[in-house]
C-alpha cells in the first residue's frame, strides 16, 4: 500500500490579499490556524483556489513557508507545484520541500498539453528527482488533457507517486482507475459535489473548496463515510448541494473568496484576470449562503 498523505478533508486554501493586491501573510496565518482548529485534515497551499497562476515565484514559496509555520506540524501541508514545464516543476518541488511542504499536488501539463506517454514521462521525471510524495491532479476542464486510468496504472508503479486528486467528473473512469491501481494509488475527490460518490468507490476523502467556508462540516462528511455512517455522509452531501453549486457558478476561486468576504473572513480581492461576480451570480451566492445560515 502506498503512503497515505491524509484521510478526510483537505482545504484548497484561498490566498488572502491586501487591498493593493499583495499577499496578506498575517491573514494567511490566521486562516491556517482557524482551519486546523475546525478539524480540517490537511491543507493544500498554492493550488488553483490559492491563485497559484498569478503568484510570483518568491510569493509562491513564501505562501507555502508561512503556511507551514502556521500549521506547526498539526496537519500535512500539500504544496501546489504542478506546471507545464517539467524542469520548472522539479525546481519548485524541491524549493517547496526545503521550506517544509509535506507533499506535492501536481496538475497535468496545461496549454502545451501532452500525450499519455508524455504524461508518464513528465511525472516519472519529476518523481525521480523529489523526496516527497506526489499527488497527481486531473482536471481536464482546465488543462485540456485527461489522465486516463491506464496511465494512472503505469504511474502508480513509482514509489513517490501515491495519490490522485480526481476532478474529471467521470465516476466510471474513477472506478476503472480503482480497478486497475488498487491500493497502489490513493484517490481523492477534486469535486465537492462528488465527495460521497468518490468515497463509495474507495476514495479517502476530498480536496475541497467548500471547506474554506465549512471545514468542520466537510471533515464530518468524510469521517462519517469512513466510519461506516454512510447515511449521515449522504445527508451532508445533499444538504450542501445548493451551496456547492453556487461556489462554482463562476470561475473558481471567484465565488469562494466572495463568500468568505461576505462572511467577514476578510480574504481581500482577486488578482486579474479573475474579476468580480456579476449581480446575478452574486445574488445566487448570497441566497445559498443564507439557506445554510452562513450569512
Instruction: Compute the average pLDDT of residues 152-169.
Output: 97
Residues 244, 67 contacting (CB under 8 angstroms): no
Model pLDDT for residues 198-240, shown as the tens digit of each residue: 999 999 999 999 999 999 999 999 999 999 999 999 999 999 9
Q: What is the mean pLDDT of the chain?
A: 97
Comparing CA positions, the residue from 282, 258, 255, 284 lying closest to residue 269 is 258
| Residue 6 in this model has a pLDDT that exceeds 80 | yes
DSSP assignment of 244-262 equals HHHHTSSSTTHHHHHHHHH
| Residue 1 in this model has a pLDDT that exceeds 90 | no
Set 2, 52, 132, 165: catalytic member: 165
**Residue 22 confidence class, pLDDT cut points 50, 70, 90:** very high
pLDDT score of 2: 86
**What class does CATH assign to 8-229?**
alpha beta
| Residue 55 in this model has a pLDDT that exceeds 90 | yes
Set 123, 137, 188, 225: catalytic member: 137
Instruction: Compute the average pLDDT of residues 44-73.
Output: 97
pLDDT score of 240: 98
Q: Which residue has the cell 495519490?
A: 163
Q: For residue 38, how far is the Cα from the chain centroid?
A: 17
165 is catalytic: yes
pLDDT score of 231: 97
Peptide bond into 111 cis (omega under 30): no
Q: What is the pTM of this model?
A: 0.96
**Residue 36 confidence class, pLDDT cut points 50, 70, 90:** very high
pLDDT score of 104: 98
Model pLDDT for residues 240-287, shown as the tens digit of each residue: 999 999 999 999 999 999 999 999 999 999 999 999 999 999 999 999
| Residue 84 in this model has a pLDDT that exceeds 80 | yes
Comparing CA positions, the residue from 114, 111, 106 lying closest to residue 138 is 106
Share of the chain above pLDDT 90, in %: 99
Composition of the chain by helix, strand, coil, percent to 5: 50, 15, 40
Instruction: Compute the average pLDDT of residues 115-132.
Output: 98
Instruction: Compute the average pLDDT of residues 116-124.
Output: 98
69 is catalytic: no
Instruction: Compute the average pLDDT of residues 3-16.
Output: 98
Amino acid at each position: 500500500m502506498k503512503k497515505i498523505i491524509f484521510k478526510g478533508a483537505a482545504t484548497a486554501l484561498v490566498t488572502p490579499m491586501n487591498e493593493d493586491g499583495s499577499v496578506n501573510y498575517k491573514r494567511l496565518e490566521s486562516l491556517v490556524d482557524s482551519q486546523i482548529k475546525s478539524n480540517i485534515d490537511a491543507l493544500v497551499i498554492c493550488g488553483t483556489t490559492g491563485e497559484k497562476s498569478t503568484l510570483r515565484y518568491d510569493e509562491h514559496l513564501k505562501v507555502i513557508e508561512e503556511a507551514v509555520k502556521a500549521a506547526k506540524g498539526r496537519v500535512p501541508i500539500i504544496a501546489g507545484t504542478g506546471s507545464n514545464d517539467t524542469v520548472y516543476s522539479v525546481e519548485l518541488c524541491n524549493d517547496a520541500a526545503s521550506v517544509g511542504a509535506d507533499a506535492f499536488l501536481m496538475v497535468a501539463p496545461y496549454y502545451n498539453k501532452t500525450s499519455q506517454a508524455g504524461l508518464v514521462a513528465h511525472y516519472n521525471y519529476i518523481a525521480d528527482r523529489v523526496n516527497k510524495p506526489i499527488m497527481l491532479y486531473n482536471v481536464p476542464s482546465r488543462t485540456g488533457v485527461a489522465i486516463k486510468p491506464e496511465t494512472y496504472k503505469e504511474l502508480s508503479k513509482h514509489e513517490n507517486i501515491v495519490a490522485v486528486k480526481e476532478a474529471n467528473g467521470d465516476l466510471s473512469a474513477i472506478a476503472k482507475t480503482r480497478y486497475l491501481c488498487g491500493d497502489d494509488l490513493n484517490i481523492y475527490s477534486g469535486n465537492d459535489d462528488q465527495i460521497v460518490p468518490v468515497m463509495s468507490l474507495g476514495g479517502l476523502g476530498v480536496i475541497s473548496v467548500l471547506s474554506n467556508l465549512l471545514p468542520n462540516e466537510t471533515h464530518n462528511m468524510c469521517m462519517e463515510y469512513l466510519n461506516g455512517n454512510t447515511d449521515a455522509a449522504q445527508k451532508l452531501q445533499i444538504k450542501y448541494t445548493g451551496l456547492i453549486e453556487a461556489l462554482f457558478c463562476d470561475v473558481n476561486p471567484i465565488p469562494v473568496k466572495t463568500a468568505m468576504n461576505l462572511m467577514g473572513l476578510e480574504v481581500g480581492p482577486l488578482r486579474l484576470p479573475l474579476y468580480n461576480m456579476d449581480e446575478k451570480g452574486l445574488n445566487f451566492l448570497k441566497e445559498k449562503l443564507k439557506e445554510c445560515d452562513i450569512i
